[in-house]
């Protein structure tokens, strides 16, 4: 389609398709590094490794999820960022993720001779902050705090130590134009169910 198709029910509105893309071209796009994927892992660790497969021991997991899906290929073929609607130690785990579905910055997980420069992990956007792995030795750090959120609150809900970015500040508010795009793409407000309690953009001080 020429324009992005809104999510949710569309009634009698049928999109007009303006072209098509074969599976071959889809994978050419993916493997050619021409996209930026925003993924929602079940677990993320201090090395930015991700898990989408199972919780608990792999041989006898407590819960099974989707499987690795496209995370292995995503890890080394194009830019990746993470979306976490409920920032907690269950997501940002202490130690290593239960199963490494997507690679990160842990050297022991890389085979000698494999190129690491193709991996590009940008940010993790959560309901509390924006994080990245641009600290010394790719250590995790908080890049910006959402309005009303403190660094101490983020650290308390993270299973590993965090650094503060030198220019740590408040996450910018969305512009009127950005909000208009969001409302047009999500006319049924499905996004409200993504964040627990659908809190206001500016949270009152505790």
What is the rounded average pLDDT for all residues in the chain? 90
What pLDDT, on a 0 to 100 scale, did the predictor assign at position 50?
Answer: 96
The more confident residue out of 169 and 12 is 169
The rounded percent of the chain whose pLDDT value lies above 70 is 97
Model confidence at 166, pLDDT cuts 50, 70, 90, reads very high
Residue 123, H or E segment? strand 120-126
What pLDDT, on a 0 to 100 scale, did the predictor assign at position 122?
Answer: 96
The more confident residue out of 134 and 205 is 134
Please determine, for residue 1, whether its predicted confidence score (pLDDT) is greater than 70: no
Contacts of 36 (CB under 8 A, 6+ apart): 78, 79, 80, 81, 122
Mean per-residue pLDDT, 15-24: 84
Per-residue burial over 97-131, b = 16 or more CB atoms within 10 Å of its CB, e = otherwise: bbbbbbbbbbeeeeeeeeeeeebebebbbbbbbbb
Please determine, for residue 206, whether its predicted confidence score (pLDDT) is greater than 60: no
Question: Yes or no: is domain 23-171 CATH 3.90.226.10?
Answer: no
Residue 131, H or E segment? strand 129-132
Q: The whole model's pTM is what?
A: 0.88
Please determine, for residue 177, whether its predicted confidence score (pLDDT) is greater than 90: yes
What pLDDT, on a 0 to 100 scale, did the predictor assign at position 205?
Answer: 60
Please determine, for residue 172, whether its predicted confidence score (pLDDT) is greater than 80: yes
| pLDDT tens digits, one per residue of 108-137 | 998 888 888 888 999 999 999 999 999 999
């Amino acid at each position: 389609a020429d324009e992005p198709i809104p999510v949710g029910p569309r009634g009698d509105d049928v999109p007009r398709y303006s072209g098509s893309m074969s599976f071959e071209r889809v994978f050419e796009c993916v493997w050619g590094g021409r996209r930026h994927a925003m993924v929602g892992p079940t677990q993320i660790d201090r090395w930015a490794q991700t898990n989408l497969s199972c919780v608990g021991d792999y041989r006898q997991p407590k819960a099974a999820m989707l499987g690795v899906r496209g995370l292995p290929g995503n890890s080394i073929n194009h830019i990746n960022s993470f979306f976490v609607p409920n920032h907690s130690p269950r997501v940002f785990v202490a130690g290593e993720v239960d199963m490494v579905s997507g690679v990160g910055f842990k050297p022991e997980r890389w085979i000698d001779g494999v190129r690491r420069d193709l991996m590009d992990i940008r940010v993790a956007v959560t309901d509390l902050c924006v994080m990245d792995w641009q600290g010394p030795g790719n250590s995790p750090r908080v890049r910006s705090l959402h309005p009303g959120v403190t660094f101490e609150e983020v650290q308390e809900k993270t299973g590993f130590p965090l650094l503060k970015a030198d220019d740590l500040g408040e996450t910018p508010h969305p512009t009127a134009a950005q909000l208009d795009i969001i409302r047009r793409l999500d006319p049924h407000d499905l996004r409200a169910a993504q964040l627990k309690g659908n809190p206001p953009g500016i949270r009152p001080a505790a």
